[in-house]
C-alpha cells in the first residue's frame, strides 16, 4: 500500500496516555464515561470519503479521542466541495481531498494518529480497523465492504448527503454489546421501608420517584436492620412510582429499621444487526427523524436506492441540478424497484407510490442531489460521529439500522429553473445547486449578531463561513465573547488549538473562520451582553441587524437577548446542548412565541438545615463543602481586606446587620487569633477545623438528638431522610484525612502568601505536634430540624414577624461588635498588608482536592456513599456535560432554519427540535404562535379590537413631547385614559399622585421627566424611550396594552 501526504512522522502524534487526560476530555468524560473513553482510545477508525460530511465526521471523532483515524479519498477537490468541506479552499482545487485534509485534522487532537491511505478496500486493508465509515459511496462498494465487516466483527456505517436529504446505515454485527442503552444517570434512592415478605416490597422516600422499570437490577446498601440484603443485587418488579418488589424472600430476616440506599446497576444489552445486503430489501423499522413525517422514511429508503441505480447508469454522477427530466427518470427507477420487490421485501403501497406528494419529494431529491451543503453535513456529521463513538465504546443505543432525514421545508416554494441552480465555478456552487443564486446573494448580504464563541459559537462560525454568510459587500457578522480559551475547551471547540490557550475566544475563532472564507466580514467584541453593554450594543447596532443567533451557556443571558430581539423585532435562533441531548428553538417576530414566554421551573434548592445538620446525599455534602471553601478561603479574606483598606468599613457593616457579628469574628480570626505566620500554622489551623467540623459538631448534634430519640408521635427521630451521624476520629494514616489537611493547609498558605508543600512526610511529621483542645457537648445549643425550618418558613411566608426579643438580640450584637472592633489591630498598623482571596475554580485540581476531601469526610460522617474527584467536579462545579457531536448537530439544525428565515417562510415551515443521540430519538414540532391579549381601543375614530402579543408596542412618533401631550395623544389616538406611566422601576405619573407634583411634571418633556425621576440623563444618541402604561376607557374599564415606544426625534 502507498502512504500519501499525511505521513505518520509528519503528524507529531503522542500516544494516548495510559491515564485519561482529564484536562482535555473533562466535559466529554461526563458523557462517555471513563470506560467508554478508554475503549475509544484503543479504537482504529477508517473514513472513506472526505467531502463535507466526511470531514465533519472525522473532526468529531478525532476531537472525541479515538486511537487513530485513517482517511481514504483520492477524489480531486472541486468547486462543489467548498460549500461544506472546511479544510478545502480554492488553492486546493484539483488536489486529493483526503491528502489535503489529513494534516489539518491532525491538529485537532495530539493523541489521535491521523493518516491518509489510498489502498484497495480489500480484507487485508480493512482488517486494520474496528470501525469503517463510508460516505456517498455506491451500494456496490458498500455491499462488498459491509459483507467483510459483518462477518469479521467490524462495525460498519455508511452515510450519504444529497441536497437537503441524508441517509445513514449502521451494522455493528450479529452480536454487539451495549453497556448503557440510554446514558441517563443510574437511579439512586433512599430506602423508606422493606417488608418481611416473599417477594419483599421496597418503598423509597416520596421526595423522589425511583424511575425504575420491571427487569431493572438494583443493589441495596447501608441498611440498618435487614442487613442480610446489604451488598446484594436483585431484579425488580415495578409496583408504583415509589415502590417495587425484589426477587427475595425476607420473611425470616431481621426487620428493617432505618437508612439504606437502593442503587440501579445498569446491565449490558446484546443487539443483533443485519447486513446491508439483507437490510436493503428488508430494512425493518426505520428510525423516525420527524414524527410529523411518519410515512417519509420508507419513501426515502426507496428513493435513495433508486438514486444509486440512476447514478450507476450515469457513470456515478448525480442528476443534473434543476433537471426535471432527470427527476422523472429517478421516479421511474423508484417505480421499477418497487414493482420488482419480492415476497417479504419492502415496497411502497400503491397509494403512496402514485401520490403527488411522493413525486414532489423525489423531484426535490433529484434536482438538488448534486449539492453537498454545510448545514446537512454538520447535522449528519453529528449523528454519524456519535454512531462511530458508539461502535468504539459500546456506550449508548446505536441506530437500528437505517435513518433518513430531510429538510424540504427549507427549499424555495417553487422549483428553481436550471439557470438559477447551475454551478458558476465559485465556492458556493453546492449551495447554489440547492437554493439558487439569488438566495446565495441574500445570504452573503446578511448582518448577524453571534452571541458567544464557545462550542456552539465555533461550529456556527464555521457553518456561516462555508455558507458565505456576510461574505458580500454589505454583509457583516458581529461576535462577542468575554471568555478566554482553556484546555478543557479543546475537545469540543474545534476552532481552537493548544497554542490558543489564554487567547480571547472570539478573536481566535474569527481568525480561523476567516481562514476558511477570507471574504467573511467579522467584528469582534469582548463584552458581556446585558444592561451594562447597551451603550455598545445600542439602537443603531440592533436596527442594522437581520437577526441574532445565541451560542450561550446560561439562561440569564438568553433571556436578555430574547428581550432585545423582542424590542427590536429581530429573529432569534436559539440552541443548547446537554451531553447527547440538544434542542433548537426558532423565534420569529410576530410568527412565534419568544424564548422567555415559557420557562423551566427553577432548580430546587437544598434547605439550610439539611446542609448544616441532616444531609443524606452526596450533593448535600458537596454543596456544604463548596460553601465552606467560599467562607474559609474567599469571603473571610475579602472582608479582612475591606477592613484594612476601606475607610467606610463601619458603614458597610451597618448594612449587614444580620451577618456583621460573624464577619467581625472572621476578620479577628484572620488578623489576630489564627493569623498564619508559617506553613506549620496553616497545617495546625486545618487540623483544628477537622476536629470542629467532623467531630465536635457531630457530637453536639448527637447530644441534642440521641440515636434513640423519638418524636412526639413516637417515630424514631433518626429515620426517613435523617441519618444518624458518626463522629470521625482523626487518623493521619487515613488517605482521606490527610488529603483534607494537605489541601486545606495549602489553600490557607496561599491566602497568606506562604510557600506550601504537598509532601506527605512533612505533614506526617508535624501533625502529632498539633494540640487539639478537648470538647464536651453543651446543653441549650439550639439546632433546627427540617420540620422546624419548614414551619418558620411557612410562618414567614404567611406574614409572621418577630418582637422585642429580636431587638434585645440586636443590641447584644452591637455590643459584641464594638468589643471585637476594639481588639482589632488598626489598618494603619498593618499598612501594606493584604490577604489573597482564592476564587473557586472547578478546573483547578488543588481547589477540587479540598472540596472533594471535605465533602467525603462529611459523607463518611453520615454514611453517605462517597464520590471521587471526577464526579465531585461535575456536581460542585455544576458542569454541563458536552460533546462535539451534539454541538455540530444543533448548529446544523439552526442553519437549516436560517434558510427559512431568509425566505420569510410561514410558521408551519419552522421546526423546533429536540434530539437525544444516546437513545437515539429525534423530535420536531412547529413553534407555538405568540399568546395574544385583546384590547378594545379606538383607531381612526372608530372602535377597534386589537389582538396584540409580546411582539407589539404602541409606537408614538411625535418627538420628545411633554407628559401633557402624551396623555392627550393616548386619549385622542386610542380613546384611552392614561392612569399610570412608568419607566423601568420608576413611576413617572399616576392618577393618585400628589396634585402639586403632577402639575409640575405636566409641561416637562418625557426625557426631562425621566431624568428628573430616575436621576439619570438620557444619552443624546438614544432614539427611544420605553414606557409601561396602565389605561382605562371612559367606562372605567381597565385595558391591557403593550408598552409605549416614544421616538425622541419626530419622523
- Partners of 178 in beta bridges: 269
Hey, is 912 helix, strand or coil? strand
With 90 as the cut, is the pLDDT of residue 1005 above it?
yes
How far, in Å, CA of 1017 to CA of 578, rounded?
A: 43
How far, in Å, CA of 722 to CA of 789, rounded?
A: 14
With 80 as the cut, is the pLDDT of residue 807 above it?
no
Instruction: Name the grid cell of 906.
Output: 410561514
Is the distance from CB of 486 to CB of 843 less than 8 angstroms? yes
pLDDT of residue 1050: 74
Q: Positive or negative, the Cα torsion across 640, 646, 649, 652?
A: negative
Question: Which pairing describes strands 188-194 and 176-178: parallel, antiparallel, or unpaired?
Answer: unpaired
With 80 as the cut, is the pLDDT of residue 857 above it?
yes
Q: What is the mean pLDDT of residues 493-500?
A: 94
With 80 as the cut, is the pLDDT of residue 577 above it?
yes
pLDDT of residue 799: 56
Per-residue pLDDT of 184-242, as tens digits, reads 889 999 999 999 999 999 999 987 899 999 999 999 999 999 999 999 999 999 999 99
Instruction: Name the grid cell of 404.
Output: 433518513
Which distant-in-sequence residues (6+ apart) come within 8 Å of 260 by Cβ? 190, 191, 194, 220, 221, 222, 223, 224, 230
Which residue in 364, 130, 165, 158 sits closest to 276, CA to CA?
158
Per-residue pLDDT of 731-788, as tens digits, reads 999 999 999 999 999 999 999 999 999 999 999 999 999 999 999 988 888 887 777 7
How far, in Å, CA of 836 to CA of 746, rounded?
A: 13
Per-residue pLDDT of 23-33, as tens digits, reads 899 899 999 99
CATH architecture type of domain 933-1047: Roll (3.10)
Count Cβ atoms within 10 A of the Cβ of residue 662 and give its class: 0-12 exposed, 13-18 middle, 19 or more buried.
Answer: middle
Is the distance from CB of 135 to CB of 54 less than 8 angstroms? yes
With 70 as the cut, is the pLDDT of residue 676 above it?
yes
With 70 as the cut, is the pLDDT of residue 653 above it?
yes
With 70 as the cut, is the pLDDT of residue 810 above it?
no
Distances (CA, A) of 568 to 470, 834, 882: 20, 48, 32
Name all contacts of 76-80 with Cβ < 8 Å and 24+ positions apart. 79/423, 79/425, 79/426, 79/427, 79/429, 80/370, 80/371, 80/372, 80/423, 80/429, 80/430, 80/433
C-alpha of 246 from chain center: 37
Q: Among 3.40.50.720, 3.40.80.10, 3.40.50.300, 3.40.50.970, name the CATH number for the domain at 8-178+275-294+371-405.
A: 3.40.50.720
- Partners of 262 in beta bridges: 189, 220
Runs of H (alpha helix) within 7-73 = 22-40, 52-64
pLDDT band, residue 699 (cuts 50/70/90): very high
What's the whole-model pTM score?
0.90
How far, in Å, CA of 559 to CA of 451, rounded?
A: 12
- Partners of 573 in beta bridges: 549, 586
Which distant-in-sequence residues (6+ apart) come within 8 Å of 138 by Cβ? 308, 311, 312, 316
* DSSP characters over 404-442: EEE-GGGS-SSPPPHHHHS--SSTTHHHHHHH-HHHHHH
Q: How many CB atoms lie within 10 A of CB 539?
A: 15
Q: What is the mean pLDDT of residues 606-625?
A: 90
pLDDT of residue 610: 84
Q: What percent of the chain clears pLDDT 90, i.e. is strictly above it?
A: 82
Q: What is the mean pLDDT of residues 255-264?
A: 92
Instruction: Name the grid cell of 104.
Output: 489539518
Residues of the chain with CATH 3.10.290.60: 933-1047
Question: Which pairing describes strands 155-162 and 131-135: parallel, antiparallel, or unpaired?
Answer: parallel
Distances (CA, A) of 417 to 7, 322, 413, 422, 440: 46, 6, 12, 9, 15
Which distant-in-sequence residues (6+ apart) come within 8 Å of 217 by Cβ? 233, 234, 235, 236, 264, 265, 266, 267
Distances (CA, A) of 207 to 123, 195, 241, 604: 57, 20, 11, 12
Look up the CATH superfamily of 445-492+505-603+879-925.
NAD(P)-binding Rossmann-like Domain (3.40.50.720)
Residue with more model confidence, 600 or 571: 571
Is the distance from CB of 471 to CB of 519 less than 8 angstroms? yes
Residues of the chain with CATH 2.40.30.180: 188-265
Whole-number CA gyration radius for the chain: 34
Residue with more model confidence, 344 or 137: 137
How far, in Å, CA of 34 to CA of 20, rounded?
A: 8
Q: Among 3.20.20.370, 3.90.380.10, 1.10.274.10, 1.10.10.2660, name the CATH number for the domain at 617-640+668-783+833-863.
A: 1.10.10.2660
With 50 as the cut, is the pLDDT of residue 3 above it?
no
How far, in Å, CA of 619 to CA of 600, rounded?
A: 21
Q: What is the mean pLDDT of the chain?
A: 93
pLDDT band, residue 384 (cuts 50/70/90): very high
Q: Among 2.40.30.180, 2.60.40.1120, 3.30.1360.200, 2.40.30.10, name the CATH number for the domain at 188-265.
A: 2.40.30.180
Could you list the beta-strand ranges (E) of 163-242.
165-171, 176-178, 188-194, 200-204, 217-221, 233-240
Runs of H (alpha helix) within 317-476 = 324-340, 350-353, 356-368, 374-393, 418-421, 429-435, 437-444, 455-467
How far, in Å, CA of 474 to CA of 593, rounded?
A: 30
Instruction: Name the grid cell of 326.
Output: 432527470
How far, in Å, CA of 805 to CA of 706, rounded?
A: 30
Indicate the helix (H) or strand (E) that contains 942. strand 942-948
pLDDT of residue 50: 98
- The CA angle 645-650-656, to the nearest 5 degrees, is 110
Q: How many CB atoms lie within 10 A of CB 770?
A: 17
With 70 as the cut, is the pLDDT of residue 427 above it?
yes
With 70 as the cut, is the pLDDT of residue 527 above it?
yes
Residue with more model confidence, 655 or 267: 267
pLDDT band, residue 1033 (cuts 50/70/90): confident
pLDDT band, residue 1051 (cuts 50/70/90): low
Runs of H (alpha helix) within 841-992 = 845-861, 869-876, 884-902, 963-974
Q: How many CB atoms lie within 10 A of CB 111?
A: 19
- Partners of 170 in beta bridges: 157
pLDDT of residue 798: 60
- The residues carrying an active-site annotation are 609
Residues of the chain with CATH 3.40.50.720: 8-178+275-294+371-405, 445-492+505-603+879-925
| Residues, the chain | 1051
Hey, is 371 helix, strand or coil? coil
Q: Omega of the bond prior to 569 within 30 degrees of 0, cis?
A: no
Residue 760 backbone phi and psi in degrees, to 5: -55, -40
How far, in Å, CA of 1018 to CA of 768, rounded?
A: 67
Residue 912 backbone phi and psi in degrees, to 5: -90, 135
Hey, is 1005 helix, strand or coil? strand
* DSSP characters over 85-146: -TT--GGGTTSBHHHHHHHHHHTT-TTSEEEEB-----HHHHTT-SEEEEES--HHHHHHHH
With 90 as the cut, is the pLDDT of residue 16 above it?
no
Which residue in 681, 950, 653, 705 sits closest to 816, CA to CA?
653
Which residue in 593, 172, 84 sits closest to 389, CA to CA?
172
How far, in Å, CA of 553 to CA of 558, rounded?
A: 8
pLDDT band, residue 797 (cuts 50/70/90): low
Amino acid at each position: 500500500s502507498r502512504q500519501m501526504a499525511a505521513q505518520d512522522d509528519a503528524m507529531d502524534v503522542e500516544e494516548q496516555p495510559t491515564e485519561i487526560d482529564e484536562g482535555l476530555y473533562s466535559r466529554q468524560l461526563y458523557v462517555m464515561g471513563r470506560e467508554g473513553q478508554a475503549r475509544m482510545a484503543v479504537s482504529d477508525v477508517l473514513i472513506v470519503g472526505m467531502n463535507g460530511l466526511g470531514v465533519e465526521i472525522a473532526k468529531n471523532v478525532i476531537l472525541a479521542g479515538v486511537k487513530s483515524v485513517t482517511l481514504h479519498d483520492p477524489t480531486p477537490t472541486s468547486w462543489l466541495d467548498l460549500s461544506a468541506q472546511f479544510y478545502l479552499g480554492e488553492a486546493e482545487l484539483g488536489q486529493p481531498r483526503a491528502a489535503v485534509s489529513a494534516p489539518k485534522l491532525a491538529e485537532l487532537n495530539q493523541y489521535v494518529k491521523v493518516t491518509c491511505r489510498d489502498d484497495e478496500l480489500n480484507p487485508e486493508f480493512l482488517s486494520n480497523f474496528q470501525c469503517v465509515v463510508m460516505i456517498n459511496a455506491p451500494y456496490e462498494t458498500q455491499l462488498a465492504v459491509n459483507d467483510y465487516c459483518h462477518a469479521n466483527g467490524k462495525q460498519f456505517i455508511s452515510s450519504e448527503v444529497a441536497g437537503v436529504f441524508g441517509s445513514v446505515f449502521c451494522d455493528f454485527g450479529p452480536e454487539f454489546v451495549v453497556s448503557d442503552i440510554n446514558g441517563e444517570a443510574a437511579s439512586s434512592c433512599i430506602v423508606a421501608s422493606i417488608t418481611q415478605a416473599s417477594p419483599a416490597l421496597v418503598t423509597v422516600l416520596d421526595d423522589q420517584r425511583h424511575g425504575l422499570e420491571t427487569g431493572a437490577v438494583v443493589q441495596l446498601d447501608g441498611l440498618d436492620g435487614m442487613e442480610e440484603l446489604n451488598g446484594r443485587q436483585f431484579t425488580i418488579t415495578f409496583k408504583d412510582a415509589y415502590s417495587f418488589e425484589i426477587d427475595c424472600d425476607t420473611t425470616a430476616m431481621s426487620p428493617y429499621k432505618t437508612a439504606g440506599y437502593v442503587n440501579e446497576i445498569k446491565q449490558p444489552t446484546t443487539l443483533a444487526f443485519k447486513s446491508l445486503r439483507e437490510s436493503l430489501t428488508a430494512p425493518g423499522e426505520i428510525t423516525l427523524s420527524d414524527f410529523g413525517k411518519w410515512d417519509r422514511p420508507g419513501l426515502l429508503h426507496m428513493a435513495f436506492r433508486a438514486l444509486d441505480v440512476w447514478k450507476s447508469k450515469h457513470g456515478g454522477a448525480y442528476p443534473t441540478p434543476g433537471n426535471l427530466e432527470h427527476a422523472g427518470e429517478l421516479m421511474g427507477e423508484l417505480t421499477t424497484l418497487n414493482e420488482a420487490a419480492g415476497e417479504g421485501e419492502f415496497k411502497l403501497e400503491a397509494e403512496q407510490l402514485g401520490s403527488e406528494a411522493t413525486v414532489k419529494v423525489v423531484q426535490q431529491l433529484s434536482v438538488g442531489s448534486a449539492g453537498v451543503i454545510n448545514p446537512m453535513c454538520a447535522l449528519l456529521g453529528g449523528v454519524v460521529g456519535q454512531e462511530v463513538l458508539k461502535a468504539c465504546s459500546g456506550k449508548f443505543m446505536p441506530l437500528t439500522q437505517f435513518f433518513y432525514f430531510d429538510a424540504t421545508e427549507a427549499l424555495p416554494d417553487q422549483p428553481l429553473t436550471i439557470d438559477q441552480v447551475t454551478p458558476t465555478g465559485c465556492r458556493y456552487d453546492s449551495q447554489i445547486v440547492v437554493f439558487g443564486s439569488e438566495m446565495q446573494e441574500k445570504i452573503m448580504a446578511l448582518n448577524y449578531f453571534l452571541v458567544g464563541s464557545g462550542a456552539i459559537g465555533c461550529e456556527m462560525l464555521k457553518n456561516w463561513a462555508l455558507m458565505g454568510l456576510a461574505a458580500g459587500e454589505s454583509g457583516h457578522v458581529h461576535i462577542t465573547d468575554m471568555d478566554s480559551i482553556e484546555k478543557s475547551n479543546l475537545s469540543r471547540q474545534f476552532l481552537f488549538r493548544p497554542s490558543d490557550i489564554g487567547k480571547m475566544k472570539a478573536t481566535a475563532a474569527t481568525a480561523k473562520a476567516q481562514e476558511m472564507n477570507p471574504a467573511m466580514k467579522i467584528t469582534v467584541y469582548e463584552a458581556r451582553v446585558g444592561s451594562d453593554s447597551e451603550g455598545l450594543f445600542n439602537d443603531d447596532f440592533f436596527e442594522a441587524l437581520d437577526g441574532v443567533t445565541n451560542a450561550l451557556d446560561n439562561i440569564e443571558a438568553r433571556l436578555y437577548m430574547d428581550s432585545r430581539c423582542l424590542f427590536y423585532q429581530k429573529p432569534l435562533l436559539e440552541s443548547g446542548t446537554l451531553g447527547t441531548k440538544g434542542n433548537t428553538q426558532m423565534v420569529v417576530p410576530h410568527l412565534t412565541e419568544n424564548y422567555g414566554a415559557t420557562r423551566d421551573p427553577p432548580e430546587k434548592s437544598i434547605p439550610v438545615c439539611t446542609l448544616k445538620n441532616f444531609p443524606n446525599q452526596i450533593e448535600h455534602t458537596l454543596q456544604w463543602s463548596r460553601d465552606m471553601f467560599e467562607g474559609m478561603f474567599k469571603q473571610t479574606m475579602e472582608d479582612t481586606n475591606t477592613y484594612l483598606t476601606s475607610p467606610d468599613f463601619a458603614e458597610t457593616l451597618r448594612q449587614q446587620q444580620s451577618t456583621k457579628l460573624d464577619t467581625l469574628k472572621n476578620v479577628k480570626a484572620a488578623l489576630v487569633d489564627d493569623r498564619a505566620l508559617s506553613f506549620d500554622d496553616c497545617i495546625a489551623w486545618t487540623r483544628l477545623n477537622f476536629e470542629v467540623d467532623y467531630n465536635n459538631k457531630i457530637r453536639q448534634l448527637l447530644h441534642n438528638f440521641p440515636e434513640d430519640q423519638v418524636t412526639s408521635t413516637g417515630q424514631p427521630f433518626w429515620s426517613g431522610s435523617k441519618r444518624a451521624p458518626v463522629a470521625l476520629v482523626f487518623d493521619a494514616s487515613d488517605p482521606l484525612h490527610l488529603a483534607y489537611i494537605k489541601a486545606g493547609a495549602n489553600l490557607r498558605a496561599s491566602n497568606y502568601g506562604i510557600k506550601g508543600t504537598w509532601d506527605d512526610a512533612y505533614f506526617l511529621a508535624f501533625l502529632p505536634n498539633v494540640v487539639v483542645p478537648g470538647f464536651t457537648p453543651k446543653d441549650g445549643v439550639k439546632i433546627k430540624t427540617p420540620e422546624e425550618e419548614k414551619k418558620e418558613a411557612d410562618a414567614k411566608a404567611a406574614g409572621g414577624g418577630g418582637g422585642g426579643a429580636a431587638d434585645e438580640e440586636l443590641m447584644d450584637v452591637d455590643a459584641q461588635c464594638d468589643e471585637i472592633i476594639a481588639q482589632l489591630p488598626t489598618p494603619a498598623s498593618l499598612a501594606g498588608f493584604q490577604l489573597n482571596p482564592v476564587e473557586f475554580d472547578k478546573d483547578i485540581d488543588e481547589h477540587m482536592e479540598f472540596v472533594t476531601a471535605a465533602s467525603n469526610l462529611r459523607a463518611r460522617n453520615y454514611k453517605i456513599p462517597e464520590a471521587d474527584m471526577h464526579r465531585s467536579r461535575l456536581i460542585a462545579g455544576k458542569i454541563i456535560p458536552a460533546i462535539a457531536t451534539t454541538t455540530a448537530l444543533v448548529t446544523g439544525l439552526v442553519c437549516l432554519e436560517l434558510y427559512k428565515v431568509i425566505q420569510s417562510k410561514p410558521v408551519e415551515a419552522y421546526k423546533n427540535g429536540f434530539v437525544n443521540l444516546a437513545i437515539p430519538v429525534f423530535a420536531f414540532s412547529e413553534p407555538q404562535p405568540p399568546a395574544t391579549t385583546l384590547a378594545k381601543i379606538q383607531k381612526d375614530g372608530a372602535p377597534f379590537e386589537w389582538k396584540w402579543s409580546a411582539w407589539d408596542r404602541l409606537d408614538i412618533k411625535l418627538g420628545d413631547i411633554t407628559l401633557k401631550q402624551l396623555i392627550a395623544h393616548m386619549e385622542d389616538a386610542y380613546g384611552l385614559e392614561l392612569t399610570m406611566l412608568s419607566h423601568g422601576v420608576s413611576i413617572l405619573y399616576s392618577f393618585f399622585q400628589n396634585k402639586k407634583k403632577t402639575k409640575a411634571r405636566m409641561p416637562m418633556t418625557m426625557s426631562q421627566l425621566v431624568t428628573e425621576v430616575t436621576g439619570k440623563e438620557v444619552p443624546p444618541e438614544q432614539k427611544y424611550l420605553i414606557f409601561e402604561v396602565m389605561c382605562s376607557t371612559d367606562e372605567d374599564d381597565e385595558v391591557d396594552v403593550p408598552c409605549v415606544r416614544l421616538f425622541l426625534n419626530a419622523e
